Chains A and B, each alone.
Chain A
Amino acid sequence: NAGVMQNPRHLVRRRGQEARLRCSPMKGHSHVYWYRQLPEEGLKFMVYLQKENIIDESGMPKERFSAEFPKEGPSILRIQQVVRGDSAAYFCASSPPTKSYEQYFGPGTRLTVT
């Protein structure tokens, strides 16, 4: 099992462009969490998804951010019209359906907005 995969590992976008971050959960895991980490801060919860469903998106900014976890393929975190303040490390974690407390983290995607 390769573990949780995230790509790209580094992403540079100009202000106003779109950023798409991908997360492939571990095999057999149907739950995905997205987190954002600013420098010197802890992980901030953004959204929790199960296959084809958003369960809790209370940590997502109301505008420009969206997430999906389709039946097939990776989970996608999409940031439209990026601004400098979106620069951060974005982590995803997956968990098995019977142990949703047991999160396995990906290596993160570092987004830099210039």
Chain B
Amino acid sequence: AQRVTQPEKLLSVFKGAPVELKCNYSYSGSPELFWYVQYSRQRLQLLLRHISRESIKGFTADLNKGETSFHLKKPFAQEEDSAMYYCALSGGNFNKFYFGSGTKLNVKP
């Protein structure tokens, strides 16, 4: 079955600390992985896509097919990174997306 798991509901770190938001997936084909972010009182928006291999706002994510993981990392968290983060998965035709339940990141001053 296709599934995206985000094991942490809440992650609290201090400003300047490294942060890693975990995402594991289960998918029978060749997946496309994404991270979405929702800042307070804003809409859900795409943060990054694994295939682009970009760093957005200092965040990176590497697809590890052996461990079926796509963890989101940032070496030095900032207070403005506080938000809900959702990991999502799709097949190559993008007909359907599976979202994890989300991790709330709280960066403390």
Q: A40-B101, A101-B32, A101-B90 are in contact. Are A45 and B96 (CB under 8 A)?
A: yes
Among the listed stretches B11-19, B44-52, B61-69, B70-78, which one makes contact with chain A, having 4 or more residues with CB under 8 Å of it? B44-52
**B interface secondary structure, majority:** strand
Contact A43 B95 (CB under 8 A): no
Contact A41 B44 (CB under 8 A): no
Complex CA–CA separation, A48 to B96 (angstroms)? 7
Closest chain B residue to A107 by CB distance? B43
Chain B nearest CB, measured from A102 CB (Å): 6
Chain B nearest CB, measured from A30 CB (Å): 13
Contact B45 A105 (CB under 8 A): yes
Decide if A25 is an interface residue (CB 8 Å cutoff): no
Range for the number of chain A residues in contact with chain B: 20 to 34
Closest chain A residue to B102 by CB distance? A42
Q: A42-B4, A43-B86 are in contact. Are A102 and B98 (CB under 8 A)?
A: no
Query: In the complex, how many residue pairs between chain A and chain B have their CB atoms under 8 Å apart?
Result: 49
Closest chain B residue to A55 by CB distance? B95
Contact A42 B86 (CB under 8 A): yes
Q: A41-B101, A42-B101, A101-B90 are in contact. Are A58 and B96 (CB under 8 A)?
A: yes
Contact B43 A3 (CB under 8 A): yes
Complex CA–CA separation, A40 to B103 (angstroms)? 10
Closest chain B residue to A35 by CB distance? B99
Complex CA–CA separation, A3 to B6 (angstroms)? 28
Among all A-B residue pairs, the 3 with the closest Cβ atoms: A42-B99, A43-B99, A105-B44
